[in-house]
Amino acid sequence: MAEGVTPRVKVPKKAEAGEVITIKTLISHPMESGQRKDSDGNVIPQSIINRFTCEFNGENVIDIKMEPAMSTNPYFEFDAKVPEAGDFKFTWYDDDGSIYEEVKSVAVG
Amino acid sequence: MNFSRRETLGLGLGAMALTVLPMGASAATVDELIAEFTGGADMADTGVTLTAPEIAENGNTVPISVEAEGASEIMVLATGNPTPPVGTFKFGPLAGSRSASTRIRLATTQEVVAIAKLEDGTFARTSAEIKVTIGGCGG
């Protein structure tokens, strides 16, 4: 597991039913591209987050496949529809098999 | 060393092939990736928007956003990177809009391509030329 991986997600606490809200996510991760070399000239092996998904009450909002060309600390901004009160579940999948999760609740009304 | 005319010509051709090949190889992969994504289907020139800065000072974090009305998937390719794929955005039933923003790495000044797969099964393509002052692939 990469060191110090912390997901940060910005979701409004309240929304109207059926409203479209903007979600911002950021996760601190080196996203080692596999192109860089260390001071001895050895290639640093690739270590990235390769997939990010967002679900609301089990239904998919967005599913992003990531390649080494994504920047360090990958950031995403996208829109989601909120049909009812519930939880947004954010999942990041690391190359090394680690899975980072974050859950945010949204109230309706 | 003495070179005959034939040898000199051969050397020249070899050198040319060496300089041209890496670019050709990378371009082929971009075409292959596009063909893989679209299945060889034709792409419309309108219907997808790629917003990116004209000049990126730092190739390590170039903010881009993609948008395509009625898209189910959008693929982004950086044609000048050592590995062209950047990412694929798949929109689910609860996506509020068919758009997303992120930050990407670009090795050099190059063309970034976005291809959208629309819900009616057609494809749309757009591209943007981004000038990069400092490369982002550790070169």
Chain B CB contacts of A70 under 8 Å are 86-87, 102-105
Quote the radius of gyration of chain A (alpha carbons, Å).
16
Asked if B105's CB is within 8 angstroms of A79's CB, the reply is no
Which residue numbers in chain B have pLDDT < 70?
1-3, 7-28, 135-139
Q: What does the pLDDT read at residue B9?
A: 63
pTM for this predicted structure: 0.82
Q: Which residues does chain B have within 8 Å of residue A62's beta carbon, measured at their own beta carbons?
A: 89-92, 95, 100
Q: Which residues of B touch A (CB under 8 A)?
A: 60-62, 65, 78, 81-97, 99-106, 136-139
Angle in degrees, CA B73, A7, B89, rounded to 5: 5
Which among B71, B98, B119 has a CA at the least distance from the CA of A80? Answer: B98
Work out the average pLDDT over A1-15.
85
Q: Write the Ramachandran bin of A90: left for phi over 0, alpha for psi from -120 to 50, otherwise beta.
A: beta
Q: Which two tokens stand for residue B19?
A: 């300089």
Which residues of chain A are within 8 Å of residue B53 when distances are taken between CB atoms?
none
A48-65 average pLDDT score: 94
